[in-house]
Amino acid sequence: MPKRARQTGRRRAAPLRLALRFAAPALLLSGVAARAQAAVGFAGADKAVGLSLGTGLIFFSTLTALLYLAGRRRSSAREAELSSEIEQLRQKVERARAFLASETQFAVVWAGARAEPEIEGDVNLALDAATAPRRVLGFGAWLPPDQARTLEQKVALLRDNGQGFRQDLIAHNGRHLEAEGRAIGSRVVMRVRDVSGDRLELMRLREIHAAQTARLEVLRGVLDLSSHPAWTRGPDQALDWVNLAYAKAVDAESPKDAVARGLELLDRAAREAAARARQGGEVWTRREHVVVAGVRRLMEVLDAPLPGGGGGMADDLSELEAVRADHALQVESHIRTLDQIATAVAIFDRSKRLVFANAAYRHLWQLDPAFLEQGPSDSQILDRLRADRRLPEQADYRSWKAALHSVYLAVEPPPQIWHLPDGRTLRVAFASNPQGGATYLFDDVTERFALESQYNSLARVQSETLDALQEGVAVFGADGRLKLSNPAFARLWRLSDQLIAERPHIDAVSAASKPLLPEDAIWADLRSAVAGLHSARIGFERRMNRADGAVVDCAVAPLPDGGALLTFIDVTDGVNVERALKERNQALLAAEQLRNDFVHHVSYELRSPLTNIIGFIQLLGDGSVGPLNEKQREYAGYVLKSSAALLAIINDILDLATIDRDAMALQLGEVDIRRVIAEAAEGLQDRLAESHVELSIVAAPDIGTFQADGQRVRQILFNLLSNAIGFSEQGQTVTLAALRRDGEIVFKVTDRGRGIPPELLDKVFDRFESRTINSRHRGVGLGLSIVRAFVELHGGVVHIDSAPGEGTVVTCIFPIRGGKTIGRPEIESRMEERA
């Protein structure tokens, strides 16, 4: 039932409900009064109560009737009003249906999200006559798939969001339709109507306009992606569109901002020139310097008249000009580079004319620069060189030149070797140019050919040298295969010529040599050195004891190319001699040890009785046991002197034996240099007096002390002075000098005696080497040996300089602090031994 009908029924029933509302209490009261009256009747109540109740009932009944009549009157008026409104609405519906029927169309109305749609109009526009009208809601039944999907999407937006739409459709039956949707109040309506005639033409024009607009947008989108500024002008010659590149060039926020502000890319003079060209119907093209984003750049500007206005585009040539300038610099650089190289270069174009020749080319052929600057042809240059006898001699020059010019057509012409009449040899290479023409490259290979000849000669010499060597030589490559060997290698390991010719692997060589050397470890080391992978390649040496008794020394040396050089030397004879020498050396060492032990023992045994003899002689000499006559006293002096000399010799022998056993140790302490010199000189006063030789001591008063064994230093100086005095003539002077120098103490003993011949200088420090050289000196030859041993024990050195007839200088250099000390037990043992 319609809503308005329901409202009208409710208004008609309102008076009845109001009358019933008032009549209900009256009926209730009447019932109460009747019951009360009955009660009164039974009880005999007062009659006045009954009368009042009756009167009230009559009053309420009358009031209720009056109210019902008033409500009935109002309801009748309202009913008449609603009937008039319903009639008006019916007329509106009739007019709407007439409007729908005036055109070929149908409408679909949705009253709510879940309400069933109402379909009005002629659905035969889209469907066949026998089809149910609700089939029109299946858009795919009467529209192509793409249009059906689009229409479904738009209808969904209309029902959900109230978004209106308009869409041109072409049904399966070929009709052109227009679908329009909009929201009306709480309802949404989609109207589909047939368009024909002017409407169809309008729709066609609308489609063309939409397509042209889309194409224009695509074109503008493409121009927006371009880095070249572009613009269009309207009929008033003002900007009406610019692309993004234009907006960036004029520092605008957007293309619309550039158009709104009328920002021009060109300066005024250029714009005026372009406007004049447009007025004349001409295309204006010019290169202009334009300020783009604050930077002055060179651009090629094109401005042309177009229907309805004009347009233009600017191309930035700054990078192109920079590339051209850079290319020019590179060409200049290449020319300078080609002028510096030793290879002669000549470039000819497709017409075979010279376009470039470097300095090496000019120097090679000694051609006139003016002639080359004229751009002569290839044939002219060859003819001039042939006339000057600078080309190789040819029996058929024309054929040779024609064959040479074939390089202009060849893709990869092979190089040629030219032997010139002056003895030079040239390697001529050819290259075809991409633009046509050819490039000649001349290299003077005279020295290379000479070096190759020398190399081949050296290779032959090397091969002959290797073949003549007695040592076996083998070179293995990085792959472990034999690359080079000499006959001695094959003979040493008894390898066949066939195996050597096969360039065997190191494994094959080791397998063939196993009978002579069965030790796998040695061959494994050789294989690792030859074919192993190592982070650091190092060589090694190894001695091999073969099964046949031969001894072979092997040396492995890595080569720079990744190979390895193996050398084998048969040292069997040398090993046998070495063994014999070692055995003899052991025997000599044993004999020397026996001698040292014997000398030490005998010296020790001789020193004890000799000490007793000296003591008794001293007793006889001082008269303690009785007086001696002059002759006896003289003899006793001779005995005492000889015994003292013998004791000194024995002490020297004992010291040398102790040093040989490495048992000698120094008792280090602070030694006063002047004092130790004085003590050494004190013991030689008798000899100085007998020899009539003077002693000169040269030492600074403040020379100080140094760390040494004072007794051994005194013994050193004593022996040196004794030798100097013994080799000096009467009246000569022996000089003992001491000085401090750079952390060292230097003692020098100088005499002016006969000197020492050069052939004896290397032997003066040998033991038991006593060369009197016609002098009064006599001795067993241990003094200088003791001196060198004690000085070296202190960490010092001894030098001797002498020449025959000029004397001798012995220099002893001590470190200020040096030598080695001994402990107290060793000192006491040493003292007991000397006692």
Model confidence over 307-356: pLDDT tens digits?
Answer: 878 888 888 887 787 788 787 788 787 778 888 888 899 999 989 999 88
- Single-letter amino acid, residue 648: A
Query: What is the pLDDT, as a whole number, of residue 664?
Result: 63
Query: What is the pLDDT, as a whole number, of residue 716?
Result: 85
- Helical pair 710-726 and 673-682, crossing angle rounded to 10 deg: 50
Separation between Cα atoms, residue 204 and residue 197, nearest integer Å: 11
Burial (Cβ within 10 Å: 0-12, 13-18, ≥19) of residue 135 = middle
Strand, coil or helix: 149: helix
Query: What is the pLDDT, as a whole number, of residue 20?
Result: 45
Listed in sequence order, the residues at least 6 apart from 492 whose beta carbon sits closer than 8 Å to its beta carbon are 472, 552, 568, 570
| Closest alpha carbon to 120 in 143, 139, 101, 142 | 101
Percent helix, strand and coil across the chain, each to the nearest 5:
50, 20, 25
Of the chain, the end-to-end C-alpha distance in Å amounts to 159
Distances (CA, A) of 388 to 361, 366, 399, 579: 16, 10, 19, 78
Separation between Cα atoms, residue 445 and residue 166, nearest integer Å: 88
Separation between Cα atoms, residue 495 and residue 396, nearest integer Å: 57
* Beta-carbon count within 10 A of 308 CB: 10
| Closest alpha carbon to 487 in 470, 462, 506, 512 | 470
Phi, psi values for residue 443, rounded to 5°: -115, 130
Listed in sequence order, the residues at least 6 apart from 555 whose beta carbon sits closer than 8 Å to its beta carbon are 539, 540, 541, 542, 566, 567
Query: What is the pLDDT, as a whole number, of residue 26?
Result: 45
Query: What is the pLDDT, as a whole number, of residue 653?
Result: 62
Query: What is the pLDDT, as a whole number, of residue 38?
Result: 46
Strand, coil or helix: 351: coil
Q: Which residue has the tokens 């070249």?
A: 228
Separation between Cα atoms, residue 261 and residue 239, nearest integer Å: 9
Separation between Cα atoms, residue 647 and residue 824, nearest integer Å: 26
Separation between Cα atoms, residue 422 and residue 400, nearest integer Å: 20
Query: What is the pLDDT, as a whole number, of residue 749?
Result: 92
Instruction: Return the HEC string of 454-517.
Output: HHHHHHHHHHHHHHHCCCEEEEECCCCEEEEECHHHHHHHCCCHHHHHCCCEHHHHHHHHCCCC
Query: What is the pLDDT, as a whole number, of residue 300?
Result: 86
Distances (CA, A) of 543 to 263, 476, 546, 551, 552: 96, 20, 10, 7, 6
- Longest CA pairwise span in the chain (Å): 216
- Single-letter amino acid, residue 210: A
Helices and strands (H and E) in the chain: how many: 25, 27
Reported as half-sphere exposure (CB side, CA atoms, 13 A), residue 559 has a value of: 18
Query: What is the pLDDT, as a whole number, of residue 207?
Result: 82
Dump pLDDT digits (tens) for 57-68: 787 778 787 887
Q: Which residue has the tokens 């006896």?
A: 632
Separation between Cα atoms, residue 269 and residue 273, nearest integer Å: 6
Tokens linked to 355: 């376009």
> With contact defined as beta carbons under 8 Å apart, do 246 and 230 qualify?
yes
- Residues 137-164 as b/e (b if ≥16 CB within 10 A, e otherwise) read eebeebbeeebbebbeebbeebbeeeee
Query: What is the pLDDT, as a whole number, of residue 770?
Result: 58
Listed in sequence order, the residues at least 6 apart from 529 whose beta carbon sits closer than 8 Å to its beta carbon are 537, 539, 540, 556, 558, 564
Tokens linked to 44: 């005999």
DSSP 680: H
In degrees, rounded to 5, the angle at the alpha carbon of residue 611 between the alpha carbons of residues 605 and 615 is 155
Query: What is the pLDDT, as a whole number, of residue 624?
Result: 67
Strand, coil or helix: 365: helix
Distance of CA 822 to the CA centre of its chain: 62
Q: Which residue has the tokens 């032959």?
A: 460
Separation between Cα atoms, residue 635 and residue 614, nearest integer Å: 13
Name the helix (H) or strand (E) containing 654. Answer: helix 630-660
What would the DSSP string read from start to end of 782-823? -HHHHHHHHHHHTT-EEEEEEETTTEEEEEEEEESS-S-B--
Query: What is the pLDDT, as a whole number, of residue 648?
Result: 62
Query: What is the pLDDT, as a whole number, of residue 813?
Result: 92
Name residue 182's beta-bridge partners.
189
Query: What is the pLDDT, as a whole number, of residue 96?
Result: 67
Length of the chain measured in residues: 835
Counting as low any pLDDT under 70, the low residues of the chain are 1-50, 96-102, 113, 129-131, 196-200, 535, 592, 594-608, 610, 616, 621, 623-625, 638, 640-664, 766-783, 818-835
Q: Which residue has the tokens 């035969």?
A: 124
